[in-house]
Every structure is written in C-alpha cells, then in structure tokens.
Amino acid sequence: MGSIEKERSIVGLAATDPSGHLSPYTFTLRNTGPEDVLIKVMCCGICHTDIHQVKNDLGMSRYPMVPGHEVVGEVVEVGSDVSKFRAGDVVGVGCLVGCCRSCRACDSDIEQYCNKKIWSYNDVYTDGKPTQGGFAESMVVDQKFVVKIPAGMSPEQAAPLLCAGITVYSPLNHFGLKQSGLRGGILGLGGVGHMGVKVAKAMGHHVTVISSSDKKKVEALDHLGADDYLVSSDGEKMQKLADSLDYIIDTVPVNHPLEPYLSLLKVDGKLIIMGVINTPLQFISPMVMLGRKVITGSFIGSMKETEEMLEFCKEKELSSMIEVVNMDYVNTAFERLEKNDVRYRFVVDVAGSKPLQQ
C-alpha cells in the first residue's frame, strides 16, 4: 500500500511522427494516487487500431505516442483506497483509463460511450499529461479500469481478449444474441474475426465465416471450428444463403460495400460494424426497409462486460491464436499486420524482451 514519492522514469516504444516507426522513448509515470494501481507490464497485444493511431490515419494523433491497449501485467503497488487488487495480482488494462463518472453512459455502467472517456494512449489524462500505452515497462492506472486475469489463464492468451475478445462479446451480449441455436456470420477473419468465431461457437451458434477469398477456408473450418465458409464473390452461394443469418459481425477495417451482406440477414437481422473506417459506407434504403434490418455499431465493452467475458472465456476454455514476439520485432509486426500476415494476433513479450535503450 502507499504511494510513490516521486514520478518514475520508464522507457517504452513510441511513434514520433506519422511514419509510425516505433523507437525507444523515455517518459515519466504519474505518482500512484489513492485509487491507482502500478502495473509492471508483462505483455501487450497488437491491434489494427494501433496502426491507425501511430500513422495518424484518423487525424487525431499526438506524438510522441506509446501505443498498446491489450495490456497484461503484474501489480507492483496499489494506492491507499484500492480494494480490488494487491501486489502480485495478474491484471489487464484495455482501451480506456478514464471517464467522467457522472454522465448517462457512466451511470449505466457503459463508460466506453462516455463523451469524456480517456484512452489508454494518445489522449490527455486528468493531470494534463499524455497517456501512454502498454509497449512500455510499466503503467499507472485507476483501479476502475483494471481487471483481474482469471487464475490459470496465461498472460499472452489473455491480452487479445482485452480488445478483440470484448469487442465481439459486448454486442452479442447487448443485442440479446447469446442464446444457443442462432446463425451468425463473421465478416473478415483477422484478430477480432477469429475471436468472433470462437466466442460465437462457444455460445452455441452456427457460424459462417465470410471472406473475399478462400485463402483462409481451411483455417476457418478446421482450426477455428466454423460451420461454413462463404466467399463473397461466389454469387450462387451468396444467393443460397440469403435471408439465413441472425447477425453479422463486420470486422473489416477498410471501405467495403454493405448491400451484399445485408442480403444475407433474416428479417430483423443485425449487421454490427466493428472496423474503424474513415470513409463513408453506403447502402440503398430498401435493403434495410424490406427486412426491418439493422445496421449498427459497437465499441469494445464496459468494464463489467470485460470481467464477464474473461470468466466466460475461462469457463469455455477459449484461447486466442497468437504469435508472440519481442519488443525489437514490433515494427516488423506492424508491417506484417498491415499485410494481414499474422494468425491471428501478435502479442509482444514486454517483460521478456531485452531492456530498451534510448
């Protein structure tokens, strides 16, 4: 218990301009406050959003920027008012580290929709200092935004659940799509998509993976356990599967037509958009009107849902398909991720990497 007398100086990997190249960067952590948890980072997943942020694809990047929002680490110290955690606990930190705690979203325990939420990195904390992410030695995080990793779950396996896992769990939970027997589609088989298949199958759904080619067919069916595989350019099979799905989780992070996928939905079916896309998407209104279909979106999940999701994954023995890399490989991992050359999530072994030297 207690607090640190002075700020800690630590080293992380930071982007300093829109080239997105990461290099060692020294910065300070804030003092551990009464509600804070000091975490030694063990590992951190790499998400496609990290690429958007370091390259300023959304026009909102602040440099220097230490990315990483799928963070698992060990509690080193807790503030005097922290009751949920103690030194030695293995914990996780996701996309958020702050919220206003007084708006409708916060009062409803869906703080991810708070208009004053504070991102784990590329944001400004309440003390006026930049937030920095998990590609670093340590983090200081308010206890509200820290979750315990269930006993027996490896840190490397847990990391992708803190973004990819909760991103698919939350909409299935919120829209009442958890009951067994539903027929779902997963559009795009990347980091989020592969977790979508695993989570939906664990809920007892019939799962169809939808992709632009058959390159991942064997992986989808044999390795991930999907029930069917649909190539979107196969007009005959697209027609055959029209009006057959209760929902589609759309994970594609680039502009794409919506109408072909709307045609696959049953009456009242839901197309749930997950990909961060900075150009407008289009569809013609009869595609939704004539089936009372819904185009909606969902953003990560609440802290309450994250805890539920972790327990669900433990109970169902769900794991991510990951490739573990060291800190000195991160730039190469980013390049490979841009080419979709990963099955299916990179996880950086922060604690096991050689110390960074600026």
Distance set, CA 25 to CA 65, 285, 342, 355 (Å): 9, 49, 26, 12
DSSP per-residue string spanning 239-277: HHTTT-EEEEEE---S---SHHHHTTEEEEEEEEE-S--
Structure tokens given for 263:
């045609």
Neighbours of 67 (CB within 10 A): 30
List the beta bridge partners of residue 24. 13
Structure tokens given for 121:
């990195």
Give me the pLDDT at residue 338, please: 92
Residue ranges of domains in the chain: 8-163+321-349, 166-297
The yes/no answer on whether domain 166-297 falls in CATH 3.30.9.40 is no
Instruction: Note whether 42 and 72 are within 8 A (CB).
Output: yes
Length of the chain (residues):
358
- pLDDT tens digits along 36-60: 999 999 999 999 899 999 999 989 9
Give me the pLDDT at residue 4, please: 45
Domains 8-163+321-349 and 166-297 share a fold: no
Distance CA 210, CA 227 (A): 11
Strands (E), the chain: 8-15, 22-29, 36-45, 71-78, 90-93, 96-98, 118-119, 138-142, 147-148, 183-187, 206-211, 228-231, 245-250, 265-273, 294-297, 322-325, 345-348
Write the CB contacts of 282 (distance below 8 Å, at least 6 apart in sequence). Answer: 257, 258
List the beta bridge partners of residue 186. 209, 249
- pLDDT tens digits along 153-162: 999 999 999 9
List the beta bridge partners of residue 91. 73, 148
Query: Which residue blocks in 44-99 are alpha helix, DSSP H?
Result: 48-54
DSSP per-residue string spanning 293-329: -EEEE--S--HHHHHHHHHHHHHHT----EEEE-GGG
The span from the first CA to the last CA of the chain, in angstroms, equals 31
Give me the pLDDT at residue 118, please: 98
Strands (E), 179-252: 183-187, 206-211, 228-231, 245-250
pTM higher than the cut 0.85: yes
CATH number of 8-163+321-349: 3.90.180.10
Cα of 309 vs its chain's centroid, Å: 12
DSSP assigned state of 30: P
Give me the pLDDT at residue 2, please: 46
Give me the pLDDT at residue 358, please: 67
Distance CA 103, CA 230 (A): 42
Helix axes 303-316, 191-202, angle to 10 degrees: 70
Residue for token pair 């490397």:
156
Give me the pLDDT at residue 224, please: 94
Tens of each residue's pLDDT in the chain, 358 residues: 444 456 789 999 999 999 999 999 999 999 899 999 999 999 999 998 999 999 999 899 999 999 999 999 999 999 999 999 999 999 999 999 999 999 999 999 999 999 999 999 999 999 999 999 999 999 999 999 999 999 999 999 999 999 999 999 999 999 999 999 999 999 999 889 999 999 999 999 999 999 999 999 999 999 999 999 999 999 999 999 999 999 999 999 889 999 999 999 999 999 999 988 889 999 999 999 999 999 999 999 999 999 999 999 999 999 889 999 999 999 999 999 999 899 899 999 999 998 887 6
Give me the pLDDT at residue 320, please: 86
Distance CA 220, CA 154 (A): 24
CA angle in degrees (0–180, nearest 5) for 352-24-141: 70
- Give the helix/strand (H/E) hosting 150: none
